[in-house]
């Protein structure tokens, strides 16, 4: 344990050089690409994908939506596309060329080298696909390998069981619940906090890359080994 001049315990010495801010660029994978969000390029596909018959489930835990009016939705996407924090990326399916979701970097703190992934909208066409996992891998790889962050966060409504399962599957560690953290759409939100550290990333990166290899899927597209098993999060 480190001690200061008065022999009180202090944190370990770390590299205090700030991380880089994320830029508007393209992160390309095998199944999807993450590209800067654009109303012109993505609003129509996102409106159709996120506001169909299952729209209530898509929007339940997000800060906005659902949307009945295409023009209102497009204006909202235009505003999101201009935002710097959160910084929005559309998720484009390579097979169809259509936007199937979006996700963001937010609470960007280069000085402390902390950044969060959030505002995640996956349309039904995106949910439970290889592309959904690949989008998270591309973000995490960019955060740790290129930008130099030391802490990567995931937060969600504590009632959002699918999001909490996803956080663990994607390699984040549960840290606790902030009670009465927010009021969202007129309702209380207790927020579950998860994180991944730079020291944990090499093992998580190896797990992602092994899971994403084509050899991990059979002819029907079923996984042979789960990401939970690969990152050790399926253990008691």
Among 11-20, 83-92, 101-110, which stretch is predicted with the lowest mean pLDDT? 11-20
Say yes or no to pLDDT of 235 above 60: no
Mean pLDDT to the nearest integer, 181-206: 97
| pLDDT of residue 190 exceeding 60 | yes
**Three-state secondary structure string covering 80-138:** HHHCCCCEEEEEEECCCCCEEEEEEEEEEECCCCEEEEEEEEECCCCCCCHHHHHHHHH
How far apart CA 84 and CA 42 sit, in angstroms, is: 18
pLDDT in tens, 53-87: 666 689 999 999 999 999 999 999 999 999 999 99
What's the pLDDT at 236? 45
pLDDT at 211 over 90: yes
Single out the residue of 118, 114, 136, 139 nearest to residue 127, CA to CA.
136
Average pLDDT over residues 21-41: 98
The model carries a pTM of 0.94
At residue 6, the pLDDT reads 83
């Amino acid at each position: 344990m480190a001690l200061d001049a008065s022999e009180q315990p202090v944190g370990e010495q770390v590299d205090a050089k700030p991380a880089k801010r994320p830029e508007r660029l393209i992160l390309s994978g095998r199944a999807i690409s993450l590209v800067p969000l654009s109303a012109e390029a993505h609003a129509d596909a996102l409106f159709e994908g996120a506001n169909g018959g299952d729209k209530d489930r898509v929007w339940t835990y997000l800060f906005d939506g659902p949307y009945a009016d295409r023009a209102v939705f497009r204006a909202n996407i235009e505003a999101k596309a201009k935002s710097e924090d959160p910084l929005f990326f559309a998720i484009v399916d390579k097979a169809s060329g259509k936007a199937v979701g979006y996700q963001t970097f937010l609470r960007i703190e280069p000085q402390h080298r902390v950044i969060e992934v959030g505002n995640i909208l996956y349309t039904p066409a995106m949910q439970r696909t290889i592309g959904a996992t690949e989008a998270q891998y591309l973000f995490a790889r960019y955060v740790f390998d290129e930008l130099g962050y030391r802490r990567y966060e995931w937060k969600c409504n504590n009632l959002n069981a699918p999001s909490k399962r996803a956080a663990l599957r994607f390699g984040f560690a549960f840290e606790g619940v902030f009670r009465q953290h927010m009021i969202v759409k007129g309702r209380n939100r207790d927020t579950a906090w998860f994180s991944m550290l730079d020291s944990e990333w090499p093992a998580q990166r190896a797990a992602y890359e092994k899971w994403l290899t084509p050899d991990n899927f059979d002819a029907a597209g079923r996984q042979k080994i789960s990401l939970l098993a690969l990152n050790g999060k399926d253990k008691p």
